[in-house]
Amino acid sequence: MSAIIEIRDYSWQYLNTENPALNGINLDIYEGEFVGIIGPNGAGKTTLALSLDGLIPGQYHGVKQGTVKVMGKEVEAYPRGELQRQVGVVFSDPEAQFTAMTVEDELVFGLENLGLSIPEIRERLEWVTELTALKSLLPKPPYEISGGQKQRVALAAVLAMMPKIMVLDEPTSMLDPVSRKRIFEVLGRLKREQNNTVIVIEHSLENLIPLADRMILLSEGQVALQGPTRTFFQQIALLLEKGIYPPEAMQFFYRLVQRQWYNGDLPLTLDEAAERLEHVLMPRHSTYQGS
């Protein structure tokens, strides 16, 4: 299977900066994958997102080396606007993306630009409104709704365009836990019901972990670690060293490992932690078989 995104020896240095923001990146991302990208501040995560939809090098000044290919073609080779049909990006500050007077117009606007027929626009509007639970907000001006609602509108606007690849750059960083959960519920449905390739840059690991097939750790512009989610988080010592704090249940079990009270794999979720704890405390009663 060939990768839908292929990044080879890719480096990007913004103009007038001392170090490259991305430095020798090699990555393959496959169709239908749900990939989580994490890393400390300044690691290059947003730069990577900008590189995937061509805003880098299109709208930024700097020096590029290597290649970023989307669906077999280098990002610079796409005619203007064409790449954005394949790659939809949602940033953490949705306000900047809104131009219309109502939420409904905001959603319809992009679809009209795609040249879709009116029945098709209606159909997609209905689908995306249901998926993101936006029905009651359709007549409202985008600037009158809450931060969480804005983020759902931004997500819906990109989803409605049905891009093959979606990149979400800290989509919940400005949201309270309830709104954050709702965004992740939408992402969960997207994963179960569609075959989109989804790349999420996110600090909220509790929400990301159950969805991600694969995780990538960026650090100082490089891929410091990548792998299937479960394997990835077993490298907890490296993650902690890079300033990433995995969910507390995982950290708790890591302490048990350090004290030699536990030698199985680290649980990814609270439910898994409860299961493993039962095995540690009451091995004869537990149904958990160990790793």
Per CB under 6 A, residues contacting ligand ATP are 14, 17, 21, 39, 41-47
Which segments of 176-251 are extended strands (E)?
Answer: 197-201, 214-219, 222-228
- Cα–Cα distances (Å) from 275 to 140, 179, 214, 231, 267, in that order, read 46, 28, 23, 19, 9
Comparing CB distances to ligand ATP, the nearer of 137 and 217 is 217
Largest Cα separation within the chain, whole Å, is: 64
E strand spans, the chain: 5-14, 22-29, 34-38, 62-70, 73-74, 87-90, 165-169, 197-201, 214-219, 222-228
Cβ closest to ligand ATP, residue 39 vs residue 110:
39
CB of 39 or CB of 54, closer to ligand ATP: 39
Nearer to ligand ATP, 17 or 136 (CB): 17
Q: Whole-number minimum distance, CB 173 to ligand ATP, in Å?
A: 8
Q: How far is the CB of 148 from ligand ATP (least distance, A)?
A: 20
Phi, psi of 26 (to 5 degrees): -125, 120
CB of 156 to ligand ATP, least distance (A): 23
Nearer to ligand ATP, 134 or 218 (CB): 218
CA–CA distance, 155 with 149 (Å, rounded to integer): 10
d(CA 19, CA 62): 11
Residue closer to ligand ATP, measured from CB, 42 or 188: 42
Per-residue buried b or exposed e for 235-270, using 16+ beta carbons within 10 Å of the residue's own CB = bbeebeebebebbebbeebbebbeeeebeebbbbee
State the amino acid at position 214 in one-letter form.
R
Pick 14 or 252: Cβ nearer ligand ATP:
14
d(CA 290, CA 263): 9
Of 211, 164, 161, 165, whose CA–CA distance to 187 is shortest?
Answer: 211
